[in-house]
Amino acid sequence: MTDPTLPTPPRPGRFVRLAEADRPTLHLQIDGQPATALAGDTLLVALLQHGRRVRDSEFGGTPRAGFCLMGACQDCWVWTPEGRRLRACSTPVEAGLQVLTRPPAQHWPPTQDLQQSLARHGGQP
């Protein structure tokens, strides 16, 4: 039985590299945190080596980890800090790349109908 007062150790990433470890290392940032990938890796590989999810679903917030792995399903969209969307499964990692696994605040501006709905239901934009 585990002690609930003790901190939970971090879970390892979903992907573990077994081969081709001799490629050059590239440095990037995932949600503002430093990360590494190897030259030739896709962003999906880098994300899943450093965590257990690629992003959270827009429809309920459940964690997503990609689905088709070939650019067809749109389940692996991530964002740059400027708001540009990238498909993690088909975007090669570049040195200095910065990605967000949640859309930047300005990505979904509150529309008039959203503001009205939030006002009726007591939410904040």
| Residue ranges per structural domain of the chain | 25-121
* Residue labelled with tokens 């440095």: 27
Tens-of-pLDDT digits for all 125 residues of the chain? 555 555 444 556 777 778 888 999 999 999 999 999 999 999 999 998 888 778 877 677 777 777 777 778 888 889 999 889 999 999 999 999 999 988 887 666 667 776 777 677 765 54
Nearest by Cα to 14 from 63, 47, 36 = 47
Q: Are 99 and 43 in contact (CB under 8 A)?
A: yes
Fold of 25-121: Ubiquitin-like (UB roll) (3.10.20)
